[in-house]
């Protein structure tokens, strides 16, 4: 039978004392190494802006207001829904086409040392941690200089630095949607506080523009279809009056009036089509995101020190006896 022995704390203490010279050098050296590695890690700032999403659907409650009777002449607009809804906005923000719009945003750093597009900022000013810099050098990649020619931003076939910039933008720009309230939060992360605020505002503005263009396009399609139906019904009405078919003419007249009222409602929607209400504008962050270097160094040193003690005292801690 095999069973674990009770810890012999005296033996453990003696074991640690026998390695005290090693520990006196190992723990400070570990702290210094971790500090040096984390000190080179770039600092980041985060900025967020909140948008209240209005789901663009014509619901059953709106039916009696936007659509008129009789039901026989309903074009299906009462059940009109869109292929993109607020729950899909996070996928829209992560798409290459949307990120290319964001990358074209003009930015300037807080100290005014750089002024250009966000794409140029990521290509020339973005700092990588020391281990990623080393890996990039092994792969033959280097940071571009200000004024160097950059590949065009093509969302379908990005090449070289364009592909790298889109990947960085996808990592640093995010969108979260509250599934219950439909509150949309755009968050941008950057190594400069002013750049973070500018990109957060740009992403919010581009999302507003995208949704407005999308929903407006859908409404325009419905409006054009209604205009065609109005012209057709009017022509049929004139033919029915000429033929003396009063019953059919009355039915067509009712359809004509229904389509006309629907057309007026859709035209009013197109005049002012707002899909978002801004609840919180992007403000330049004053505090850095994430823990400080000293916190990371202390935690890493404590964990590595505990691991070293476990290795030193492994026989006393994990040894077993056979009975």
Helix/strand/coil for 28:
helix
Helix/strand/coil for 99:
helix
Q: List b or e across 58-71, with b for residues whose CB sees 16 or more CB atoms inside 10 angstroms.
A: beeeebeebbbeee
**Chain segment 177-222, per-residue pLDDT in tens:** 887 777 888 999 988 899 999 999 999 888 888 887 777 766 777 7
Q: In the prediction, which pLDDT does 170 show?
A: 92
Give every residue of the chain whose pLDDT is below 70, as ranges. 1-8, 39-40, 53-85, 131, 217-218, 266, 268-276, 289-294, 316-323
User: Rounded to two decimals, what is the model's pTM?
Assistant: 0.64
Element (H, E) at 108: strand 106-108
Domains (range + CATH), the chain: 2-40+293-322 (no CATH), 45-280 (3.30.1890)
**Chain segment 67-109, per-residue pLDDT in tens:** 433 334 444 444 455 556 677 788 888 888 899 999 999 999 9
Look-up: residue for tokens 């270097």? 293
């Amino acid at each position: 039978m095999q069973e674990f022995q009770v810890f012999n704390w005296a033996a453990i203490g003696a074991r640690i004392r026998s390695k005290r010279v090693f520990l006196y050098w190992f723990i400070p050296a570990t702290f210094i190494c971790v500090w040096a590695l984390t000190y080179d890690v770039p600092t980041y700032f985060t900025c967020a802006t909140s948008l209240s999403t209005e789901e663009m659907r014509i619901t059953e409650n709106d039916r009696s207001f936007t659509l008129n009777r009789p039901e026989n002449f309903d074009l299906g607009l009462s059940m009109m829904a869109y292929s993109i809804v607020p729950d899909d906005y996070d996928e829209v923000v992560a798409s290459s086409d949307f990120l290319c719009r964001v990358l074209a945003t003009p930015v300037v750093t807080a100290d005014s040392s750089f002024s250009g597009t966000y794409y140029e900022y990521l290509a020339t000013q973005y700092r990588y941690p020391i281990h990623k810099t080393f890996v990039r050098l092994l792969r033959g990649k280097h940071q571009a200089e200000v004024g160097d020619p950059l590949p065009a931003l093509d969302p379908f076939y990005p090449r070289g630095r364009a592909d790298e910039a889109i990947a960085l933008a996808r990592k640093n720009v995010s969108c979260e949607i509250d599934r219950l309230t439909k509150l949309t939060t755009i968050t941008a992360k950057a190594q400069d506080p002013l750049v973070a605020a500018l990109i957060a505002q740009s992403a919010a503005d581009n999302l507003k523009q995208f949704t407005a263009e999308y929903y407006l396009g859908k409404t325009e399609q419905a409006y054009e279809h209604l205009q065609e139906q109005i012209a057709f019904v009017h022509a049929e009405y004139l033919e029915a009056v000429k033929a003396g078919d009063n019953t059919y003419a009355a039915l067509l007249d009712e359809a004509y009036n229904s389509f006309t009222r629907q057309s007026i409602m859709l035209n009013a929607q197109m005049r002012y089509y707002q899909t978002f209400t801004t609840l919180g504008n992007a403000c330049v962050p004053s505090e850095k995101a994430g823990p400080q270097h000293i916190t990371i160094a202390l935690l890493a040193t404590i964990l590595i020190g505990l691991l070293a003690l476990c290795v030193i005292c492994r026989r006393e801690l994990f040894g077993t006896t056979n009975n």
